[in-house]
Amino acid sequence: MHNQPYFSGFAPLPTGSDRWLMSDAQPHYLNPDADTLVICIHGFTGTTYEVYPAAQAIAQQGYAAVSPLLPGHGYKDLAEQKQQFARITKDGMLMAMRSEIRQARQKHQRVGLFGFSMGGAIALTMAAEGLVDAVAVAAPALQLPTRAEVLIPLLSGAKFFLDAPTQVDFPTSNYKFHHSRALRTLWQLARHGRKQLPKIQCPVFAVHSENDPTIPATVLPLMQQKIPTKIQTAWFNDSGHIMLRDVSGAEVAAAIAAFFTMEFGNTTAILN
């Protein structure tokens, strides 16, 4: 089966990519010479834009930070968005992140993961596979709203698009639609991530908002129940779902960076 490409933060973008990728979707690689790296993983329909504040905060602590663009995401043209997004799969997402971690291990002594929403489910799965040294997540998509949990597996045999709900009053680079097959991929990643929680052994930090309209607040108690090691949590209830771009974004980014500083130790900040 042909693997859908993703855009690594470690490699230059192909020539001419500015014609077909959103400007806010560019992968980032900050502080590449640091010994310790944190990979920052964006969410469903999103781009690197929504995790860049965390990457910046982590880099300001002297660590390297890389933000890849996941398969099917970040395209500029609507027709290309729809074509690529309808092709995303659970296995493709997980394979892309394993590839990014392999490259990270070749360049850096220690590797952490930060994942937002769908990226959080992916990050926790990678932690369960023992591939990273510490993991932080924001609004991890381990559960979806009840209606979505019921309807997505029932309807995903059909192929159709529907408008994505508008829930924020600030700029985003997210796609403005969903696809039934892509929603099934999100549901599969959430389900798979839940099953992997008991295998996690590395340090874990999770942040969420009780006012998130997308991911239920119950995901943090679920993590505390299923993960065998003690996890740290923090709540930012002034924010909605896209926590790093909402009103508490700076505080969320600082909390994530502080977690990795606590786990990896202080270093000299060299922000490229």
- Give the residue numbers annotated as catalytic, written as ranges: 117, 212, 241
In the block, residue with structure tokens 């949990």: 149
Give, rounded to a whole angstrom, the gap between the first and last alpha carbons of the chain. Answer: 38
Residue 34's nearest CA partner among 256, 211, 266 is: 266
Name the DSSP class of 25. Answer: G
Name the DSSP class of 48. Answer: G
Task: Return the ∠ at Cα 208 (arms to 204 and 209), rounded to 5°.
Answer: 165
Identify whether the C-beta of residue 202 lies closer than 8 Å to the C-beta of residue 227: no
Name the DSSP class of 7. Answer: B
118 annotated as a binding-site residue: yes
Rounded to the nearest 10 degrees, how much is the dihedral formed by the CA atoms of 194, 195, 197, 200?
-140
44 annotated as a binding-site residue: yes
The DSSP code sequence of 78-138 is HHHHHHHHTT--HHHHHHHHHHHHHHHHHH-SEEEEEEETHHHHHHHHHHHTT--SEEEEE
Rg of the chain on CA atoms, in Å: 17
Give the three-class secondary structure for 237: coil
Backbone angles phi, psi at 102, to 5 degrees: -60, -45
Identify whether the C-beta of residue 227 lies closer than 8 Å to the C-beta of residue 200: yes
Binding residues for substrate are: 44, 118
Binding residues are: 44, 118
